[in-house]
Amino acid sequence: MNVEDIIKEYCEINYWKDSQEVSSVRLKKTQRKCPDCDLTVDSDRRVHINLNVTPIPHWKQHCNKCRQCANPETGKFDMTSREVSQYYYFKNKDLKNNIDK
């Protein structure tokens, strides 16, 4: 099935006579309040999750809309990527100090 067949079938289902109307239809993006970062975001918000191995293995969650990372302690998106890296750097440093004692 090619694109033209899909458009014709869609027109028949929706009782449109002309396929030109289908190409002019635009879907609205729904605006809603984000449960993580408390900003108003579109429906295409994505969270990228990466496994970082330095200084200790940890998961980093990054929101593509607010450009913030999840706080490891609270889970809220209120930290920058650098702040999360520093958090795990100092956590690793504290772990090493406790082992050495």
Containing 38, the helix (H) or strand (E) segment is none
Taking alpha carbons only, the member of 71, 64, 76 closest to residue 35 is 76
Domain assignment of residue 91, yes or no: yes
State the pLDDT at residue 83: 92
Domain assignment of residue 23, yes or no: no
Amino acid at 49: I
Task: Tally the residues of the chain.
Answer: 101
Domain assignment of residue 82, yes or no: yes
State the pLDDT at residue 24: 56
What global pTM score does this model have? 0.58
Domain assignment of residue 37, yes or no: no
Domain assignment of residue 69, yes or no: yes
Domain with 88 in it: 44-100
pLDDT along the chain (101 residues), means of 10: 70 56 59 74 79 86 86 89 89 70 54
State the total domains in the chain: 1
State the pLDDT at residue 43: 67
